[in-house]
Amino acid sequence: MADYFNNLTAKQKKVFSAIETYIKLKGIPPTVREIGEMVGEKTPGAVQGILNRLEQKGVIRRQLGAARSIQLISSESQMYANPIYIPEIKKISRRNIDDLLNIYNINKYQPVSSDFVTPDEKYFIMTCSDESLSDSGIKRDDMLFINTGSELKQGDIVLVFYDGRTLLRFYNTDSETGNIILKADLNLIGRENFKPDEVKIIGRLEGKYTRF
């Protein structure tokens, strides 16, 4: 057995093995509660303590603030890119616009290469329902990779919530009025100039996946 595993205590080995098995079966990391259920530990604090020690020993890595972010690190896994699990959400509506990542709005967690994300920024994935940027290569039903934690720059493509619907637009600002300019290939709503309180900018488009 590998040295990294032999250096763990019995409880740490049990938790590590439970995490490894769960990822192989489900394709996503387990939550603290699920780990507790697998190893028979009812106290979340005790599970967190074991996870903290596993992280200190360098055999797992976690993303701060994310529920399913445990990544296994071992001598056997160094040749592979460690994925980050990004939530794929179901929809955006007036009801959930301020809480998009609530548990009922998450469809699944998708593995994304850690090389593709910026630490400490927040992301989600959703299906595109807007055809306003079709000439720019973004089609309906593309999977959109949205960064909600980055600072916007002129010309970024952003996901916007306006009048109960989500839109993709090229983002710019008017330095004289402070208004937001949102342009599209097909301006289906007949507007480009908005006051800041008229629209909610959800995040910046980081990438997309097209199904053929």
Element (H, E) at 44: helix 44-56
Give the chain's residues under pLDDT 70.
Answer: 1-5, 74-83, 212
At 131, list the tokens.
């055809």
Contact between 83 and 111 under an 8 Å Cβ cutoff? The reply is: yes
DSSP string, 78-125: TTSPPEEEEEEE----TTTTT-TTSGGGEEEEEEEEGGGS-TT--EEE
CA distances from 63 to 40, 47, 66, 82, 120 (A): 24, 16, 6, 12, 8
Domain's final residue, options 80, 108, 131: 80
Q: Answer yes or no: is 168 within a domain.
A: yes
Domain's final residue, options 30, 63, 80: 80
Contact between 35 and 10 under an 8 Å Cβ cutoff? The reply is: no
Domain hosting 154: range is 118-209
pLDDT of residue 209: 87
Residue 10: give its domain's CATH number. Answer: 1.10.10.10
**Gap between the Cα atoms of 71 and 43, Å rounded:** 22
Residue 163: give its domain's CATH number. Answer: 2.10.109.10
Domain's final residue, options 80, 107, 130: 80
Q: Answer yes or no: is 85 within a domain.
A: no
- Report pTM: 0.65
Q: Total structural domains in the chain?
A: 2
- The answer on 201 and 124 residing in a single domain is yes
Q: Answer yes or no: is 12 within a domain.
A: yes
Q: Answer yes or no: is 86 within a domain.
A: no
Model confidence over 162-200: pLDDT tens digits?
A: 999 999 999 999 989 999 999 999 888 888 999 999 999
- The answer on 205 and 158 residing in a single domain is yes
pLDDT of residue 4: 64
Q: Answer yes or no: is 40 within a domain.
A: yes
Q: Answer yes or no: is 71 within a domain.
A: yes
- The answer on 200 and 142 residing in a single domain is yes
Q: Answer yes or no: is 47 within a domain.
A: yes
Contact between 161 and 99 under an 8 Å Cβ cutoff? The reply is: no
pLDDT of residue 24: 79
Report the half-sphere exposure of 101 (CA within 13 A, side-chain side): 15
**Gap between the Cα atoms of 184 and 187, Å rounded:** 5
Angle at Cα 199 formed by Cα 195 and Cα 204, nearest 5°? 115
